[in-house]
Amino acid sequence: MKKLVYLLLCAAMMLGISGCSSTTEEASTGCTLTVSTFQLSEDIVNEDIIKPFEEMYDCDVITDLGNAADRYTKLENNPESGIDVIELNQSTAARGYEAGLFEQLDGSKITNLSELIAPAKAMQEASGYGPAFVIQSVGIVYDPEAVGYEITSWDDLWNADLAGAIAIPDITTTFGPAMVYIASDHAGQDITADDGAAAFAALEEIKPNVVKTYTKSSDLANMFAAGEIKAAVVGDFAVPNIQNAASQVVYMVPESGTYANFNTIDVVASSDNKEMAYKYIEWRISQQLQEVTSLSLNEGPTNANVELTEDEAKNLTYGAVAENAKTIDYTFVNPLLTEWTDQWNRILNR
């Protein structure tokens, strides 16, 4: 039913969005839009995202695929590469803002910016750049029988009875910086006030409990299945795979809140097709598209009007969890990341 509604809405957008006549004229002279995006589920991306957009605007979309770091480096080395719009994780996008590779967003060209959930809206307004189209968050997955009690807070990870029994994301991973923030919260310190000093003291305290700092969340599935760990800090996107291997584990987000990771979408400053790039961003954050991609691509929606059932939302950052998620300021983190990585390795990886 959602797919049918989605197709009908696409047809309505074709008739109702201003500027369609001009883009059709552009198409007659070879309208193309080059989108740099993540290399995953290509068939679904083409079916659910690319083809409907091409039909709406009569404009061909060319995709540049790869992980965020590789695609960003390629653009950094060749800003005139022809990329019009780029999708990146939050930390990598912040590097592009600092380097002037992306255009400050003209919000008047995107009619649905006001529909973003609160943390996504706050992040976009603070940066002035592209909006988030996906939200992920971090929580705790644990084996209740092995732990012997219910884990309810981040502070429980420091309990002495979890010695040699937990795994945390390495500093180099998506949620590595979030683990530093969590440690700072445990220490009762605003991380921006001491550049993470209290956080690393807290990480030294938790070291006896940490059996692994992982770089691949897929490792956790085998570790739980083998009984090597009792609990782990993990991004919500990895939970289904872990539970497939170890059905006894449960996932929880502490009531104190979680930290979000956003995937953002930006107009490349050197683009010659910025008007169409803006239309693509509007499409990527639209309710009608995100109601489809939240299911087909397991993407946590950033459009506040998206409605999901409890079952549909169980593995996504959605609803109250999303609205209350705390954001990480990568303009603060990135300049410190080399120093943080050195401290992390000295404490946890030696």
Q: Distance between CA atoms of 286 and 284, rounded to whole angstroms?
A: 6
Which of 218, 237, 226, 253 has the alpha carbon at shortest distance from 146? 226
User: What is the per-residue pLDDT for 1?
Assistant: 53
Residue 25 has pLDDT above 60, yes or no: no
Locate the domains of the chain by residue range: 2-135+261-323, 136-259+328-348
User: What is the per-residue pLDDT for 218?
Assistant: 85
pLDDT in tens, 12-22: 554 443 333 33
User: What is the per-residue pLDDT for 29?
Assistant: 45
Residue 28 has pLDDT above 70, yes or no: no
Q: Would the CATH topology of 2-135+261-323 be identical to that of 136-259+328-348? A: yes
Q: Reply yes or no on domain 136-259+328-348 having CATH 3.40.190.10.
A: yes
pTM for this entry:
0.81
Q: Which CATH architecture has domain 2-135+261-323?
A: 3-Layer(aba) Sandwich (3.40)
User: What is the per-residue pLDDT for 19?
Assistant: 38
Q: Distance between CA atoms of 270 and 36, rounded to whole angstroms?
A: 14
pLDDT in tens, 296-338: 998 999 999 999 999 999 879 999 999 889 989 998 999 999 9
pLDDT in tens, 247-262: 999 999 999 999 999 9
pLDDT in tens, 119-155: 999 999 999 999 999 999 999 999 999 999 999 999 9
Q: Which residues contact 88 (CB under 8 A, 6 or more apart)?
A: 68, 71, 72, 96, 263, 264, 266
In this prediction, residues 257-284 reach a mean pLDDT of: 97
Which of 342, 327, 337 has the alpha carbon at shortest distance from 261? 327
